[in-house]
Structure 1
C-alpha cells in the first residue's frame, strides 16, 4: 500500500475531529488502496490570547476544561480516554514529521487547518512535510477572513504556500473565495470526510435497550452561552415526553451524559427523535442521520455552520427565531446532492493520488 501523511488536528478531544480523520483514512484505503496516518507536529500559538490556548475554539480540549470539578471533570476524563483509545486502536496516528523522509504524498485537511486565530503552524501550509507532493482535502480557513490574513501581515506567506501546492480543495465558500483571491484560481469544493464516507453501517448501531425516545443534544454549554436555548430544549423535551441525552459534552440538565465510542455516537444521532446542536460536525451528523435538526451557531463557527446549511438548502434548520425542530428537511434532496458531491470529491482524490 502507498503511504500518505495527513496534516490535521490529530490530538484533540473532539469527536468531529476524530471522525473526519477516520473518514478520510477509510476512503483512501477503500477507494485507492492507500494507507494514511495523521502526522504529529508542533502547533504555533503566537497569535493566541494566552500561552497554550487552542485555535480559538477548534477543539473543546482547553485548559479550563480540566478545571471543572466533579461530574464535568470525570466526564472529560472518560471522553479523553475513549477518543485516544479509538485513535490508537484504529491506527489513525503515525509518527512525527521527523520520523519520515519521503512519503508518497501529504494531504492537508480536513478541518480548519488554515485558520490563523492561534498562529502560523508551518506544517499546515505544507512547509517541512516529508513529501514533495502536497495537496489539500476539504481544507478550511474557518472564521479567518482575507482581512484577518492581511491584519496579521501573512498575505505573502499564505499566497506562496497555496501557490506551491499541487492540488487544492476546500470545504466552504469562504475558503474558496480566499484561495481564489490569493492565487487567481477557483479551488474545487469537496465534502467533509464524514459526509464523504457516510458511515452507513455505523448509522445502524442502535442504542442499547431499554431505549426511551430521546432528544439528542450535541454542543457546548448552552447554559453559559444562552439560557433561552436551554429553556427551549427543556420545554420541548417535556412537552414531547422525550429524554434529553447529551453525547460528547457534559450538561448537568441533561437526563444522560454519554462519552461514547465515535462509531456508537453516530448511531445515537441516527436513532434520535431530533437533534439540537451548535457545532459543525453536530450538523454534519444530523444531516447524515436524516432526522429533524435545529442548529444554533456560535459566533465563532457561524460562517462554516450556516455555509453548510446553505449548501444543502437547509437554512430552515437554524434555530434563531424559529421553534425548536419546526423545520422539515427534504432529506431525499440532501441524499441526491450528497451522492453527486461524493462523486466529485472522489474524482478529486483520484487526481491527487495518481502517480
Structure 2
C-alpha cells in the first residue's frame, strides 16, 4: 500500500519538522510504503528563502553595526535551516517530484492508495499562509485514493467565514477525519456537519532514543524554548527560578538576553537532547509543551493568545492546566510543588491515548481494504 503525506515540512521550525518525521516514521514502522509529498507553496517558500538572501540587499544607508547584526541573523537562519533540512532528508522519504504550485499537485491525483493530510496547523486559514485548498486534498481523486487527515488542526481559526462552503465540500470527501484539538473537532462538526475524532500529535507516537544528541552542558540547566516575545513578569519568573534552583538558563532556537547559553543553531537532534536532559523547561510553544510531557519534565508554559486553543487543550487532556504561568505561580517557587507533577497518572492517560491514536490511524488506512472485502463478500 502506497501512502502520501501532505504537511508542513520545508521549514526551520523544530515542531513542524519533528511532527512530519514522527508521522512518517510511525507509518514506515508499520510496513507501509510511505513518503511526504514535497509540496512547498511558492508564497511560503519565498518567505523562508528571503531570510537566506545575502547582506548586499541591506540598504546602503544602514549602519555598519546593523549590517553585521543582520548578517549574523542570516547566517544563524541558514545554519539552522540546513541542519533541519539534513535531519529531515536523513529520516524520511520525500516524493521524487517537488512542487511549488497547486496545479502541479494534480500529478499525484491517483498515485497513492491513501493520502493523509496533517499533522500541524495545515487548516489554519487565519495565519500568514492563508487558505490553501491543497491541504484539504482537492487534488486527490476520490475514485482511486482514500483521503484521511491525521491530527490536522485549524490552529487559532474559529470560524470559516467565506471559505465555509468550499471547505464543507472538501471535508465531506474525506473518509476519516482525525484532528489534534477540540477547536478543530468543533469546526468540523458545526461548520462541516462531519464527525471527527481527536487524536494525539504524531510526535507522541514514536520513541526518541535514536534521535537525540545528549547536550554537552555540565551544569544543571533550565531550558528555555520560546517563539513569541515574553512579558517582563515572565522573564522575572525565569530568572528567579534559575537563581533559586541554581540552574543555568539555556535558550534553544532563539537568542534570549537572560540566557547564559544561547543555542540558536541547534539541530533537531540537539533540540530533542536538550529537552530530554533539562532540569526544568519553560516554553510558550505547543511542541515545547509536548516534549516536556514526553520526557516527564517539570515545566511551565507561557501562553500567547494565538496558541491558547491548542496548548490549553493539550494540558487539559492530561490534567496539567496548573502548568500555565500565572503571577500566583511565583509563590510556589519557595515550595517543592512547582517540581511536583504526577507523571504516573499522566503516563496512564498518555499510553491510553497513544494506543487509541494509533488504532484510529491504522483503521482509517485499512478501511478501503475492509470495505472492498465486505463488498466482495
TM-score interval (norm. to shorter): 0.7 to 0.9
2:112 paired with 1:103: yes
- Tell whether the 8 Å contact from 2:119 to 2:150 is kept in structure 1 after alignment: yes
1:144 to 157, 160, 167: 157
Shift of 1:181: 1.1
| CA separation of 1:125 and 1:63: change in aligned 2, threshold 3 A | same
Structure with the higher fraction of residues in helix conformation: 2
- 3-state SS, counterpart of residue 236 of structure 1: helix
Residue matched to 2:262: 257
After the TM superposition, which of the residue ranges 321-330 and 261-270 deviates more from structure 2? Answer: 321-330
Aligned positions of 1:223-242 closer than 5 A:
225-242=230-247
Residue matched to 1:319: 325
- Tell whether the 8 Å contact from 2:177 to 2:195 is kept in structure 1 after alignment: no
- 3-state SS, counterpart of residue 3 of structure 2: strand
Structure 1: state its 5+ residue gaps.
46-51, 54-60
1:351 to 347, 353, 363: 363
Q: Distance in 2 between matches of 1:206 and 1:337?
A: 28
| CA separation of 1:201 and 1:84: change in aligned 2, threshold 3 A | closer
1:330 to 342, 350, 354: 342
State the structure with more CA Rg: 2
Aligned positions of 1:129-278 closer than 5 A:
129=140, 132-146=145-159, 149-150=160-161, 153-202=162-211, 205-208=213-216, 211-220=218-227, 222=229, 225-258=230-263, 259-278=265-284
Aligned pair count reads 334
Shift of 1:183: 3.7
Shift of 1:235: 2.6
Q: Quote the RMSD (CA, aligned, Å).
A: 2.5
Shift of 1:293: 0.4
Residue matched to 2:15: 16
Shift of 1:338: 1.4
Q: Distance in 2 between matches of 1:202 and 1:10?
A: 17
Shift of 1:238: 2.4
Residue matched to 2:24: 25
- Tell whether the 8 Å contact from 1:136 to 1:168 is kept in structure 2 after alignment: yes
Shift of 1:144: 0.2
After the TM superposition, which of the residue ranges 187-196 and 90-99 deviates more from structure 2? Answer: 90-99
TM-score under structure 1 length normalisation: 0.86
TM-score under structure 2 length normalisation: 0.81
Structure 2: state its 5+ residue gaps.
59-68, 100-104, 370-377
- 3-state SS, counterpart of residue 200 of structure 2: coil
- Tell whether the 8 Å contact from 1:213 to 1:242 is kept in structure 2 after alignment: yes
